[in-house]
Amino acid sequence: MVTQARRPDVVRKKKATQSKSRVSIVFWMILTGITGGGLGGHFKPDLPIIGPLVQKLLAWKSSSAPDDATDISDLAEMFRAPATSPGGSVSSIQRPPPGYNAPVQLASSRRPPDKLLIASFNIQVFGESKMAKPEILTLLADVVRQFDVVAIQEVRAKSDDILPRFLAAINADGSRYDFIIGPRLGRTVSTEQYAFVFDTTRVEYNPQQVGTPPDPADRLHREPYVARFRARTQSPAQAFTFWLVNTHTDPDEVSEEVDALADVFRMMQTAAPDEDDVILLGDLNASESQLGRLGQIPGIGWAVSGAMTNTRQNKAYDNLIFMRQATSEYTGRWGVFDLQRAYGLTPEQALMVSDHYPVWAEFLIWESLPPNRMTQAQQPLQR
């Protein structure tokens, strides 16, 4: 793999005025921002995330007395204070009606040690404004802590300190997350960045295998941001390794872009000779039935099916896509993290967080086959 080291704060605007030859020359760019810190474990019992325990969660939510309040209730309280919505006060905290059968899965309160929870989250206009709202920042940090890796879309800010500050909030409880962030991308002056935020106690990434793949025909408004990860285990040679391909399509050119992503996916399948697991995830602006050539790749599958992924619950835009047979580490568990229900928010409050919910899928931490693939890698993974 050809790599080129670049500073994480490099601005790369995909304007049509740029020569496409420059894009093709820059085949892989290394864009890493390494921070982190904190002590202690990351598990937070009693915080609901998505999974099959929805009924338990809802029962708990509807029966909890005020003095049973957990961090989630605290978050809901934080929303009450000074914030106002377009409609006025946001003081009423909506709770799900008793017995409500949610169409989505809510996860267990602990991440299973032998499995990885990989998520995608479009945090709409994730920049200074959201960082300046403590209630939103606290909630977003808590959301990230439910997962081992989160692919984030829509980091939009002039400054380069959004992710470092976000990381500090995530790790404030002693968690040990880190992040890597891509270049600013877009056809206009309005650009956005992709990021991966990951729990360093659970996964590691290879700094030599991070970058932005080329789009020689200039079909994508924002080329995906890719990175190769490995589950942390006591036997690294047997650990699950995988590419994550973080993507966000343009809503007005979805059909062309999902076709282009089919080519990106195929390219990533051969990007490393010792890697057969490619997980393309993000905001596709397309449901599983609208994936064009991407959805027609023989053997391809998707985690999210038959569920709405936006906050208004009327669009299925976000997903995780991978080869069913190659990525047999997928356990079959997936979900849409319903922030409104999980944190007891009103619809207006949930929309203040994002117009998307996180989506996630669960994978085993062990490679299904063939073993010892990562031992062939030329570079050690980041510790």
Binding residues for another protein (CB under 8 A): 15-17, 20, 85-87, 124-125, 127-129, 156, 158, 187-190, 217-219, 251-253, 312, 348, 351-352, 355
Cβ atoms of 117 and 147 within 8 Å: the answer is yes
Q: How many CA atoms are closer than 13 Å to the CA of 21, on its beta-carbon side?
A: 0
Strand partners, 151: 120, 196
- Cα–Cα distance measured from residue 163 to residue 159, given in angstroms and rounded to the nearest whole number: 10
Burial class of residue 167, CB neighbours in 10 A (0-12, 13-18, 19+): buried
- Cα–Cα distance measured from residue 94 to residue 210, given in angstroms and rounded to the nearest whole number: 42
Cβ atoms of 247 and 283 within 8 Å: the answer is yes
User: Is the backbone peptide bond immediately before 273 cis, with ω within 30 degrees of 0?
Assistant: no
In a 3-state reduction of DSSP, which class is residue 31? strand
Strand partners, 281: 246, 320
In the complex, least distance from residue 240 CB atom to another protein, rounded to whole angstroms = 35
